[in-house]
Structure 1
Amino acid sequence: MTAASYRPPALRTAATAKIAGQLVYAIGDIHGSYLLLRDLLARIVADAAATARGRRPIIILLGDLIDRGPHSAQVVEAVTWLQRQHRFEMRLLMGNHERAMIAFIDHPAEAGEWLLFGGDATLRCYGVEPPGPGAPTDALIAARDALLQRMPAAHLLCLQQALPMLTLGDYVFVHAGVRPGRPLTEQEEVDVLWIGAEFTASTERFEKIVVHGHSIADEVQWPGNRIGIDTGAYRSGILTALRIEDDWLRLIQTGREDVRAAVA
């Protein structure tokens, strides 16, 4: 299905949640799925052209641009290109995979575990053969050096400058979630990048509606206190964006025909 033939799902109300009059598109974990990202962005452009009404739309990437999928470099290049445009305001959040890659670049001997959960795919995408499990320190350092030689400086800077958290109106955007019982102003990076079931199983009413990725699910999760939009693009072939306006939510997805609304 092409972007031109795509029909957005019906609008559904999101209680009384506001986002300061903005038009926001939050995109879940991409993980090197460049072709899906390209198609999803085309759909977002078409949607914004019909609905922006003079507003400058905001695109929020919820982290984990890289690893696991085959085209991490192309994804980061697309994001750096979009950051130079003026049609959209781009906001990139730090994901645990970006943080792991940066740790590997800073301290390859201590952070080689990045290669075991998707970093090997990113190295290959930049033309670097990853060391095998249990590789010695000199092999890890050599791989880091080769990555720095091949990765454009703009790519690394883009990832290094990613935000840990973003608040807009009644929503807060993070990669993984927030620690229950702790104010948003006191959240630690390890939690907003890595937290799992302790957050997703919580029924606590947080200060704001939490929009997040990280925890893969077959469908968008909307239990009332959070909206999880990681639909596992690298393995499911489904990449999800959530369009947010005052009082309204809409899903925009690519990779399957049966697009459904985010809320019941």
Structure 2
Amino acid sequence: MGLGVSYEEAATPEGMRLYAVGDVHGRHDLMSALHARIMEEILHDCPPDWRIVYLGDYVDRGPASSGVIEQLTSMSAQDPRVIALAGNHDIGFLDFLSEPDPYGLFAMNGGYETALSYGVEIDFSDRSRMMPGHHALVDAVPQRHKAFLATLPFSASFGDFFFCHAGIRPGVALENQSATDLTWIRREFHGFSGLHPKLVVHGHTPVREPDIKSNRINLDTGAWHTGRLTALRMDGRQKTLIEAPM
């Protein structure tokens, strides 16, 4: 697997600018502002090529998950250079729609707010109370949102950078990483200090400040409750952190 790539050495493909955006969690206001700022930079600087990679967890906890999904569905359909990856909460939302569980990820971790953003209030106190709200939510979520969530890729890679929601399992080739690890892993990934084949850019685990290590960078600054949505701009070897306007 080679010696690996460090944060300092990692570079984009020549002529390509990359952006990665951390966990949105229903903060459509912050995502819209940050995306507008990124597009202003792209239009002003005119890089020969570019990609914007959203790192997953678009729903739950924050107030406007439906707006986040609507904008991402539209943007990625209009321009394939806007890439949205799958997060564990996005998968949990789909799972709840098909197999409702009052004790699952969606019900226990901010799904109430997601349902509310679609105009549906769900009582998660037990299964019988939950089911009317579940049926209403299934009807309320547009088919294009379901199709968008069902087809999200689990990773993307450009140049020396590997993008995913949660991280990777050390020692496993990037092309052999499991969907579960890419959306859920924490301890084994965070505790590994060696270099990976590429620099891993991820979210999933909220941190007070963007967490920059030699082998990875975590961009999840807990936007849903901190009001800080963080992105990383990568241009050649240059790397710059940017945030949504407050």
TM-score, with structure 2 as normaliser: 0.91
| Other-structure match for 1:262 | none
| Other-structure match for 2:111 | 119
Q: Pick from 75, 87, 91 the counterpart of residue 83 of structure 2.
A: 91
C-alpha offsets along residues 55-108 of structure 1, whole Å, 9 cap, x if unaligned?
Answer: 3x211110001100000001111111212334x711111100011111111211
- Aligned CA RMSD, in angstroms, stands at 1.9
C-alpha offsets along residues 99-122 of structure 1, whole Å, 9 cap, x if unaligned?
Answer: 111111121148744211011110
Please state if 1:100 is matched with 2:92.
yes
SS in structure 2 of the partner of residue 23 of structure 1: strand
SS in structure 1 of the partner of residue 86 of structure 2: coil
Q: Distance in 2 between matches of 1:187 and 1:97?
A: 19
| Other-structure match for 1:81 | 74
Q: Distance in 1 between matches of 2:152 and 2:105?
A: 21
1:200 Cα deviation from its structure 2 partner: 1.6
Q: Pick from 46, 62, 67 the counterpart of residue 69 of structure 1.
A: 62
- Structure 2 counterparts to residues 113-262 of structure 1, below 5 A: 113-133=105-125, 135-136=126-127, 138-256=128-246
SS in structure 1 of the partner of residue 220 of structure 2: coil
C-alpha offsets along residues 119-174 of structure 1, whole Å, 9 cap, x if unaligned?
Answer: 111011111111223x12x4444333211211111111111111111111111101
Q: Distance in 1 between matches of 2:93 and 2:129?
A: 16
Residue identity matched to 1:178: I
Residues 112 and 140, structure 1, Cα contact 8 Å, conserved in 2: no
SS in structure 2 of the partner of residue 123 of structure 1: helix
Q: Distance in 2 between matches of 1:102 and 1:23?
A: 32
SS in structure 2 of the partner of residue 84 of structure 1: helix
| Other-structure match for 2:29 | 35
Q: Distance in 1 between matches of 2:108 and 2:124?
A: 9
| Other-structure match for 1:46 | 40
- Give structure 2 stretches of 5+ with no counterpart: 1-6
Residues 102 and 130, structure 2, Cα contact 8 Å, conserved in 1: no
Q: Distance in 2 between matches of 1:175 and 1:54?
A: 27
Residues 130 and 143, structure 1, Cα contact 8 Å, conserved in 2: yes
Residues 44 and 252, structure 1, Cα contact 8 Å, conserved in 2: no
Q: Distance in 1 between matches of 2:105 and 2:244?
A: 31
1:50 Cα deviation from its structure 2 partner: 2.3
Q: Distance in 2 between matches of 1:148 and 1:177?
A: 31
User: Relative to 1, partners in 2 of residues 1:48 and 1:85: Cα closer, same or farther, differing over 3 Å?
Assistant: same
SS in structure 2 of the partner of residue 58 of structure 1: strand
- Give structure 1 stretches of 5+ with no counterpart: 1-13, 257-264
Please state if 1:16 is matched with 2:9.
yes
